[in-house]
Structure 1
Amino acid sequence: MTAIAFLIGVIVLVLGLAVSIALHEVGHLLPAKLFGVRVGQYMIGFGPTLWSKRIGETEYGLKVLPLGGFISMAGMYPPAPEDAKPGTKRSRFFATMVQDARDANAETLIAADDRVFYKLPVYKRIIVMLGGPIMNLVLAVVLFTIALSGIGIQQGTTTVASVSQCVIPASEGRTECTPTDPVAPAAAAGIQPGDRFVSIDGTPVSTFAEAAAIIQRSPGKQLSVVIDRDGAQRTVQFTPATTDRAVTDANGRSVVDASGATEYQTVGFAGISPQSALVRQPIGTSLEATGQYIGSVAQIVSQFPVRIYDVVVDTLNGQPRDANSPMSVVGAGRLAGDIAAVDAPILDRVQTMITLLGGLNIALFVFNLIPLLPLDGGHVVVALWDGIKRQIARLRGTVARPVDATKLVPVTFVVVILLVATGGVLFLADIVNPVQLL
């Protein structure tokens, strides 16, 4: 069953990624058609075509490798300048690439046809190119909303799971009570597993975190606690004991001092452990999660060379990889399989899988905004460059020639080679030294 669950997780990830790519291209397709651009192809994947169907002037289809997609717009670039010169022997390789790009672009042009991309106003070209990443962003928000507000996240509830019988300072590192340990306040007050906290010290509580915060800041202070037991409310009193707790940082890790010893702080303690349950979050939580994911992915992208180097070093040294290290589709697939196969309630696994797909869409959003061709961000830069060039020419009383972006094909070639190389490194690392779920 574990192997079947793993396979299901991989399949869900592949299908989810394919849908994300398809919607990304729809984000380009819709505004392009809305602005009147002639779109020859809408394809998902690369390589030989598995299936296609022409509807109107556009051919829709699927290709062998579902690792991307594209739409073919007429006149993506302006016609080659009449005075364009062939390259010298030294640059013949790149000159040939530029000419091939111009020839391919020329095939999409039809005489006296103004339904071409390069003739659109700058703002429309930007809308077309940003349509794909924006679609991924919207999809991520939808997925996070389903995961966080539709299903929820595991949180401690106000229902008591267990009650400690004694107070044991965290610094002593033991779990068993001794005859000299004081009785835990909650046990002394008669609180039982299954009781649900309604309010503490006059403050209504809806989560365990809210209840714990009141208790921890009230050592030595008697608190009046309203609980619900079997549908009937009753009031009990207890005074939180004074105990120590390890200080943790924003990531939940213990803070140590200069000597390496764990730091502790004095807090109130009642001796209560909560039941956990999937708690639905407010709708706005998905926007917060989206912002956090964008920041995390942007940080990874900004440090990409360093991150790739760390992946190589960890793999060669046999060290576990950072959980936040970049990964290939293979790595994402393995992670999805691990999530599906983990020993946890099915709804928890579904929630985690949806969150993973949301994170992948954020990665597609951020990655495609990198201002380098052939990425969408590179096309946006070209459009802005063309607009600035036209404005300068207008101020001078002249007419600017459209930006010949085919001259950037060598740069595009280098970017593609780098992407393929890093993808190969991550592919091998994800096989030899994958990111571990736990």
Structure 2
Amino acid sequence: MAIYLAGVLAFAVGIAITIALHELGHMLSARVFGMRVRRYFVGFGPKLASVRKGHTEYGVAAVPFGGFCEIAGMTANDYVTDEEAPYAMVNKPWWQRVAVLSGGVAVNILLGLSIIYSVAVASGIPNPYADHTATVGEVTCTSDQNPETGELEPCVGTGAGGEAGIRVGDRILAVDGQDIEDFPQLAEEVAEKPGETVDFRVERGGEISEVPVTIDEVTRYTTGGEPFAAGSVGLVSQPIEDAVRQFGPVEAVGATFALTGQMLEATVEGVLSLPSKIPGLINAVLGGQREEDSPMSVVGASMIGGELAERSLWDVFFMMLASLNFFLALFNLVPLPPLDGGHIAVVLFERIRDFFRRLNGRGPGGPVNYEKLMPITYVAAAALISLGGLVLIADVVNPIRLFG
């Protein structure tokens, strides 16, 4: 228990440091372009302590999972003194404003890269060059799930895959025209089609053919004990060769960028799928099954960090922290105020608007009046707070557990 709690605390501290460094990215980039930084705080809520150096107040607030960097004149509606005017963000070139607004995102990306590189050299990372094609390692029978043990019932014979002629070593490329990237995706596609006859695109010995498979219908159970029909074909994945690999200092550079690209792509998909996860979160709060890929709060992520620390899975611990940095970076680029992406969108709008004004022989239109954006800001902020509260409640009453 002591190791678990230490892991929870360590991951929570890692999150706090991540957020603090995100805000530091804004502050340092603002300083590079001669902007006036009024305040840099780690945490939010009531101020615990602060010190003033030059024009900047540095402080710590009561709630550590947050922070902010206040730059003079971030918008045209911010009050700026005559002395601050030359250093106000709103009076700087558009590209400098975008660079400063992107400073936190850049730091998160660099942090993620640094973590992945360190793990790649020290212990090993998921091999970005490994072949994840759904390759059959065993052809077996299909059976129902035992509702008491959760295990599959004993069975004999051959399942739908074997009856259709699929063999060990076959590579499944597609199901009914839907490309299959790996075995988990194959299992997911099959589970959704009990009793249906579908075409498997199979590669064998370099030759590709379409194999019709009538998927067996089996009984599975939810975590609440409710039975449901699922599809099964009796195929078991072949272990992925060299799935996790340690790299040398030089070759780890390329591997780090390759894996980062894959993780960023998955993160984009995760951010885009957030709205679709809300019904599942509500169901989890009400006692239903909590999906393993559902969003997590700081609390939930720290709890998983504790589980990983308890089992000395430090490489996974740090890879999860890298993934968190990528999520924070890309989520902040969503073009809605009050996120960084919302402010960037305003600056780019001003730039595009002024371009067309010049084509018409007119002067610049001036900074956007943020008061007109307040309804959007309030709605977006309320949605983010509501989502955050829902995720937090789900993590408390029905947390995700990696090890049961």
Amino acid paired to 1:27? G
Q: Provide the residue aligned with 1:361 in structure 2.
A: 325
CA distance in 1, matches of 2:56, 2:242: 56
Residues 288 and 413 of structure 1: CA distance in aligned 2, closer, same or farther (over 3 Å): same
Decide whether the 8 Å contact of 2:308 with 2:317 is kept in 1. yes
Structure 1 position 23, deviation (Å): 1.2
Match for 1:46 among 37, 41, 44?
Answer: 44
Q: Provide the residue aligned with 2:347 in structure 1.
A: 383
CA distance in 1, matches of 2:49, 2:106: 27
Is 2:109 the partner of 1:140? no
Structure 1 position 294, deviation (Å): 1.5
Q: Provide the residue aligned with 1:331 in structure 2.
A: 300
Q: Which moved more, 1:381-390 or 1:126-135?
A: 381-390
Greater Rg over alpha carbons, structure: 1
1:17-416 paired onto structure 2 within 5 Å? 17-78=15-76, 102=77, 105-106=78-79, 108-110=80-82, 113-153=85-125, 171=140, 244=168, 250-253=181-184, 257-260=213-216, 261-262=232-233, 279-280=246-247, 282-283=251-252, 284-319=254-289, 321-342=290-311, 346=312, 349-395=313-359, 396-416=361-381
Structure 1 position 278, deviation (Å): 6.8
Residues 115 and 154 of structure 1: CA distance in aligned 2, closer, same or farther (over 3 Å): closer
SS, match of residue 87 in structure 2: coil
Gaps of 5+ in 1: 79-101, 156-167, 174-242
Structure 1 position 408, deviation (Å): 1.1
CA distance in 2, matches of 1:415, 1:110: 33
Q: Which moved more, 1:394-403 or 1:331-340?
A: 394-403
Amino acid paired to 2:342? G
Q: Provide the residue aligned with 1:427 in structure 2.
A: 392
Residues 114 and 279 of structure 1: CA distance in aligned 2, closer, same or farther (over 3 Å): closer
Q: Which moved more, 1:333-342 or 1:285-294?
A: 285-294
CA distance in 2, matches of 1:317, 1:276: 36
Residues 44 and 399 of structure 1: CA distance in aligned 2, closer, same or farther (over 3 Å): same
Structure 1 position 169, deviation (Å): 7.3
SS, match of residue 114 in structure 1: helix
CA distance in 2, matches of 1:316, 1:36: 51
CA distance in 1, matches of 2:43, 2:256: 30
Q: TM-score, normalised by structure 1?
A: 0.66
Residues 423 and 5 of structure 1: CA distance in aligned 2, closer, same or farther (over 3 Å): same
Structure 1 position 289, deviation (Å): 2.0
Decide whether the 8 Å contact of 1:147 with 1:352 is kept in 2. no
SS, match of residue 52 in structure 1: strand
Decide whether the 8 Å contact of 2:287 with 2:398 is kept in 1. no
Aligned residues: 318
SS, match of residue 42 in structure 1: strand
Structure 1 position 402, deviation (Å): 2.1
Amino acid paired to 1:355? M
Structure 1 position 136, deviation (Å): 0.1
Structure 1 position 264, deviation (Å): 5.3
Structure 1 position 280, deviation (Å): 3.5
Q: Provide the residue aligned with 1:162 in structure 2.
A: none
Amino acid paired to 2:376? V
Decide whether the 8 Å contact of 2:101 with 2:344 is kept in 1. yes
Gaps of 5+ in 2: 128-136, 143-166, 173-179, 191-212, 217-231
Structure 1 position 305, deviation (Å): 1.4
Structure 1 position 171, deviation (Å): 3.1
Amino acid paired to 1:425? L
Q: TM-score, normalised by structure 2?
A: 0.71
Amino acid paired to 2:296? M
**CA RMSD after TM alignment:** 3.0
CA distance in 2, matches of 1:150, 1:369: 31
